[in-house]
Chains A and B, each alone.
Chain A
Amino acid sequence: MKKLLILCLLVSLNATALNIKDIKFINSEGKKVELSQIDSEIIFEWANLECPYVKRHYGSNNMQTTQEFAKSKNVMWITVISSAIGKQGYIPPKDAMNTFASFRSFPDHVLIDENGDLGKQFNAKTTPHIFIADKNKNIVYQGAIDDAGGSKFWTTDLNESTNFVRAVINDIKSKKPVSVSKTRPYGCSVKYG
């Protein structure tokens, strides 16, 4: 079974109360990951390294520093690529970890979701698109990584924009309710097949 499988018993998507604890998948290294077995909070990042928006976030180091911040707070980071085979951004599973490492990005797991199953379950629309699950595996945040989207994106210094992901992590860790739980994701469309 080289092909990645999402062994699903996925809950139907209800954006406000999405629980993902039943999701299981096989990561790019062939390891089975069951979200119910994970104790920490989880951040899902939809990526496509050829998309200019993602490129800018990686090029400015903004995505990597956000990831480092999450890991320093013991939050798991899962990067998902939902580009279909042959579409922009697709990476063969065996190359995935190395490719991200070459960008100095070290996610806990990379999922090559070439059939778009997970992407469609989450309703991931853009790259980047961020989803954050709390310890009970309820989605508490979905949307953009920061407020740099829209007209000003190409001229803003991304490291100075308001980073929603950091804010959510801070809220969770200080046991406060998440203040911003949904924003408009911005970027390229996810290249589903």
Chain B
Amino acid sequence: MKFKFFFLISLFFSLLAQATLSINDSHSKLNFFPESNEINANSENILTIEISMDKGWHTYWINPGDSGDPATFEWELPEGFQITGPIWPSPDKIPFPPLMTYGFDDQVILPFVLKAPKIIPKKFEIGLKANWLVCKEICIPQSGSGKIKFPYQNVSSLSNVQLKEIKTRTVQKINLKNFKVISDKNLETFNLSFDFPANVYESYFFPYEYGFINYAESQNLSKINSSYNLEITKTTDSKNLNSLSGVLSIKTQDGAFNYEINGDSKALIQESNINEISFFTALLFALIGGLILNLMPCVFPVLSLKIFNFIEKSDSPKEVKAHGLIFASGAILTFLLICSVILLFKYFGIQVGWGFQLQSPIFLSLLIFLFIFLSGFFISSLNLNVAFTGNAVSSSSGYSSSFFTGFLAVIVATPCTAPFMGSALGLALLQPSYQTYPIFLSLALGFCLPYLILSFNPKLISFLPKPGPWMENLKQFMAFPMGLTAIWLFWILSAQLNRFDLSLVLVGSLITIFIVWLSNLKKSELRVLNKLKILLIILSVISLTFFVPISSSSEESSKVVVINDTNEFEFQNPTFVNFTADWCITCKVNEARVLKSSAVLEYLDSNKIDYIVYDWTERNENISVVLESYGRSGVPLYLLFKGGGADAIILPEILTETMVLNALRDL
């Protein structure tokens, strides 16, 4: 009974809330929300204005970009009152190639701060005159005015959706670690550099003022070691960056973050003259970095094989020389290939840095398989050269295997960044391509230098220990640094994938070990068995592709909610509810295959359907009650709410993408 009564009262209030100050114009509507119904003397109050536009229309930010104008508000206040604002939220990019504008699609929520004086009248009025421009393809000015009487009779508070919108767009004081403005008079760009604890997939700087940046040019985000670098194109006659001000927006898996740069960047500016001085330093650093790279745990084992090779052939200096050269050319070509790939990415506007590979779960998984495979081979008695090139020719020839070792050495080197190398490559990637190549070349040379020196000075080889059984033992020991690297890569991968996909990678690793075991089997007398073995190896390698996760699927960013009161289990907005638990395989399969598919996520997002997860991994009485009320004793349970308190539609336990999309469309 009590519940019903409360419901009636809230209905009464929500009806009254319709009377909130609203201004309608041809293509949009302005709504006014006070923080509370009363304004106390000597207080600060938030007044909020929401402009909601017809679908597809937008309005502009304080700096509209290449065209347009921001909304303006004129207030009529009783004596002693002061109003500041709007506090502009972080905008979106609204491109009209070749132009770029900044604004808000469909709706914008603008908070103001109203300061009340020490003495205020009992009743008073606030007048508002607003002008705003809405554009789709064309622009139409909108305007209107109204009066708001306080005390306010009809409180209507902001909805959760509106609050969420405010939260994701709120601009905070910049407090980023190592935030710097890096400028170079000679470059057409400047950089905002900052550290960020989470993985940033997109970042953009919105300047407050005209004349600092070229709006239409894309801003390129790159990652160098632990810091991010946003490259921004200046205008042809750029203002002094000392007074740069604007909003730096950072997007991560966990949401958006917006920071205000307040126009006093003097202390933050770092003049760099990368072009003039540091190119040669970069070359030198790259050379040293390449040298040090040899000692990294991921590379050293592979290279030790090469040295063994030299030792075994120490009686034939000519051959050693040839092998050294071919190995070096393999390594150098691979480095240049990687360099070209990076430049190609850069050309297409995809910003990558060294280590970009480690952001791709596909590449990471393949690397893990490779390292486990290598680890297996080191510990087994197989000859690596034979294994890779498939020809069991005596070690006296096999130039192709030397070339391949060079290639392999560079591939296994990719996860390792040696000291010096990072900064050199960081510089290299900021340079025009004619400077990037030399730096990579220098890195490659540094990498090969020890072998080139060895192979050209056969006398040096005689200083190395004589061949013997120690070589086999050392080789086997090398399996451990390789395994360690695989574990490290797996650890990185774990930040990008959910448990389900991670376990797939583990299964893949096991198959890799199976392949090693198969290849390691003694040759059988029966030819059929040998053929079967080869067939099995091929099949296993093919099956590996099923265990490579296609895209990153880190643990969901959706709301995980604890149910406190089961009576309130209804939703005002369209909502998809997922009851799940970590140990429920069906749930995880559904999530991986359907609920986290881009089609479903996009549909939920674009149609503003809330996605709520109730996690039952640890038993929760309240969730159990809800499950029971839908006739279930366990998870999964998928419910679809139309919103407005309507009953749920129950979806089957095993989902398909089409089924879910159809159900969502029927809402």
Which A residues are closer than 8 A to B by beta carbons? Answer: 14-16, 50-53, 87-88, 120, 125-126, 149-155, 182, 184-192
* Nearest chain B residue, comparing its CB with the CB of A127: B67
B99 adjacent to A87 (CB under 8 Å): no
Q: How near does chain B come to A94, taking the closest CB pair, in angstroms?
A: 24
How far is B97's CA from A120's CA once the two chains are assembled, in angstroms? 11
Known: A14-B236, A154-B131. A189 touches B68 (CB 8 A): yes
A-B pairs, top 10 by smallest CB distance, nearest first, are A189-B67, A184-B210, A151-B72, A15-B236, A125-B66, A126-B67, A88-B138, A188-B139, A154-B131, A189-B99
Q: Is B143 on the interface with A (CB-CB < 8 A)? A: yes
B72 adjacent to A192 (CB under 8 Å): no
- Chain B residues whose CB sits within 8 angstroms of the CB of A153 once the complex forms: 69
Q: Is B96 on the interface with A (CB-CB < 8 A)? A: yes
* Nearest chain A residue, comparing its CB with the CB of B209: A184
A16 adjacent to B236 (CB under 8 Å): yes
Q: Is B342 on the interface with A (CB-CB < 8 A)? A: no
Q: Is B174 on the interface with A (CB-CB < 8 A)? A: no
B140 adjacent to A52 (CB under 8 Å): yes
Q: List 22 A-B contacts (CB under 8 A).
A: A15-B236, A15-B237, A50-B138, A52-B139, A52-B140, A53-B139, A125-B67, A151-B72, A152-B72, A153-B69, A154-B141, A154-B143, A185-B67, A186-B67, A188-B68, A188-B135, A188-B138, A189-B135, A192-B96, A192-B97, A192-B98, A192-B99
B69 adjacent to A150 (CB under 8 Å): yes
* Nearest chain A residue, comparing its CB with the CB of B67: A189
How far is B136's CA from A87's CA once the two chains are assembled, in angstroms? 12
How far is B64's CA from A149's CA once the two chains are assembled, in angstroms? 11
Instruction: Encode B468-509 as 1/0 by CB contact (under 8 A) with A.
Output: 000000000000000000000000000000000000000000
Q: How near does chain B come to A31, taking the closest CB pair, in angstroms?
A: 28
How far is B133's CA from A179's CA once the two chains are assembled, in angstroms? 31
Known: A51-B139, A192-B97. A186 touches B69 (CB 8 A): yes
* Nearest chain B residue, comparing its CB with the CB of A152: B72
How far is B132's CA from A153's CA once the two chains are assembled, in angstroms? 11
Q: Is B70 on the interface with A (CB-CB < 8 A)? A: yes
Q: How near does chain B come to A151, taking the closest CB pair, in angstroms?
A: 4
| Residue among A53, A87, A126, A189 with max Cβ neighbours from chain B (10 Å) | A189
Q: Is B211 on the interface with A (CB-CB < 8 A)? A: yes
B67 adjacent to A188 (CB under 8 Å): yes
- Chain B residues whose CB sits within 8 angstroms of the CB of A151 once the complex forms: 69-70, 72, 131
Q: Is B101 on the interface with A (CB-CB < 8 A)? A: yes
B137 adjacent to A88 (CB under 8 Å): yes
- Chain B residues whose CB sits within 8 angstroms of the CB of A190 once the complex forms: 67, 99
B138 adjacent to A149 (CB under 8 Å): no
How far is B133's CA from A186's CA once the two chains are assembled, in angstroms? 13
- Chain A residues whose CB sits within 8 angstroms of the CB of B236 once the complex forms: 14-16
Contact of B101 among A87, A120, A189 (CB under 8 A): A189
B67 adjacent to A187 (CB under 8 Å): yes
Contact of A149 among B69, B98, B101, B141 (CB under 8 A): B69
Instruction: Encode B233-245 as 1/0 by CB contact (under 8 A) with A.
Output: 0011100000000
A120 adjacent to B67 (CB under 8 Å): no
B66 adjacent to A189 (CB under 8 Å): yes
Other than A154-B131, A186-B67, A189-B101, give 6 A-B pairs with Cβ distance below 8 A: A14-B236, A16-B237, A52-B133, A125-B66, A184-B210, A192-B96
Q: How near does chain B come to A156, taking the closest CB pair, in angstroms?
A: 11
- Chain B residues whose CB sits within 8 angstroms of the CB of A188 once the complex forms: 67-68, 135, 138-139
Instruction: Encode B112-136 as 1/0 by CB contact (under 8 A) with A.
Output: 0000000000000000000101010
Contact of B137 among A14, A154, A186, A191 (CB under 8 A): A191
How far is B260's CA from A1's CA once the two chains are assembled, in angstroms? 54
* Nearest chain B residue, comparing its CB with the CB of A125: B66
- Chain B residues whose CB sits within 8 angstroms of the CB of A88 once the complex forms: 137-138
* Nearest chain B residue, comparing its CB with the CB of A129: B67
How far is B68's CA from A15's CA once the two chains are assembled, in angstroms? 21
B211 adjacent to A184 (CB under 8 Å): yes
- Chain A residues whose CB sits within 8 angstroms of the CB of B133 once the complex forms: 52
Instruction: Encode B448-467 as 1/0 by CB contact (under 8 A) with A.
Output: 00000000000000000000
B131 adjacent to A155 (CB under 8 Å): yes
Tell me which residues from 124 to 177 in chain B have a Cβ below 8 Å from any Cβ of chain A.
131, 133, 135, 137-141, 143
- Chain A residues whose CB sits within 8 angstroms of the CB of B211 once the complex forms: 184
Contact of A126 among B66, B97, B141 (CB under 8 A): B66
How far is B131's CA from A72's CA once the two chains are assembled, in angstroms? 36
- Chain B residues whose CB sits within 8 angstroms of the CB of A182 once the complex forms: 237
* Nearest chain A residue, comparing its CB with the CB of B236: A15
- Chain B residues whose CB sits within 8 angstroms of the CB of A50 once the complex forms: 138
How far is B138's CA from A149's CA once the two chains are assembled, in angstroms? 18
Q: How near does chain B come to A85, taking the closest CB pair, in angstroms?
A: 14
How far is B69's CA from A189's CA once the two chains are assembled, in angstroms? 11
- Chain A residues whose CB sits within 8 angstroms of the CB of B235 once the complex forms: 15
* Nearest chain B residue, comparing its CB with the CB of A119: B98
* Nearest chain B residue, comparing its CB with the CB of A150: B69
- Chain A residues whose CB sits within 8 angstroms of the CB of B131 once the complex forms: 151, 154-155
* Nearest chain B residue, comparing its CB with the CB of A154: B131
* Nearest chain A residue, comparing its CB with the CB of B71: A151
How far is B72's CA from A126's CA once the two chains are assembled, in angstroms? 20
How far is B72's CA from A150's CA once the two chains are assembled, in angstroms? 9
- Chain B residues whose CB sits within 8 angstroms of the CB of A185 once the complex forms: 67
How far is B210's CA from A181's CA once the two chains are assembled, in angstroms? 14
How far is B139's CA from A186's CA once the two chains are assembled, in angstroms? 13
- Chain A residues whose CB sits within 8 angstroms of the CB of B70 once the complex forms: 150-151
Q: How near does chain B come to A120, taking the closest CB pair, in angstroms?
A: 6
How far is B137's CA from A34's CA once the two chains are assembled, in angstroms? 33
* Nearest chain B residue, comparing its CB with the CB of A116: B98
Tell me which residues from 219 to 242 in chain B have a Cβ below 8 Å from any Cβ of chain A.
235-237
- Chain B residues whose CB sits within 8 angstroms of the CB of A149 once the complex forms: 69
Q: How near does chain B come to A70, taking the closest CB pair, in angstroms?
A: 24
- Chain A residues whose CB sits within 8 angstroms of the CB of B67 once the complex forms: 125-126, 185-190
- Chain A residues whose CB sits within 8 angstroms of the CB of B66 once the complex forms: 125-126, 189
* Nearest chain B residue, comparing its CB with the CB of A17: B236
B143 adjacent to A87 (CB under 8 Å): no
- Chain B residues whose CB sits within 8 angstroms of the CB of A152 once the complex forms: 72
Q: How near does chain A come to B325, taking the closest CB pair, in angstroms?
A: 46
How far is B138's CA from A50's CA once the two chains are assembled, in angstroms? 9
B138 adjacent to A51 (CB under 8 Å): yes
How far is B66's CA from A65's CA once the two chains are assembled, in angstroms? 26
How far is B141's CA from A52's CA once the two chains are assembled, in angstroms? 7
- Chain A residues whose CB sits within 8 angstroms of the CB of B99 once the complex forms: 125, 189-190, 192
How far is B236's CA from A188's CA once the two chains are assembled, in angstroms? 22
Q: How near does chain A come to B49, taking the closest CB pair, in angstroms?
A: 15
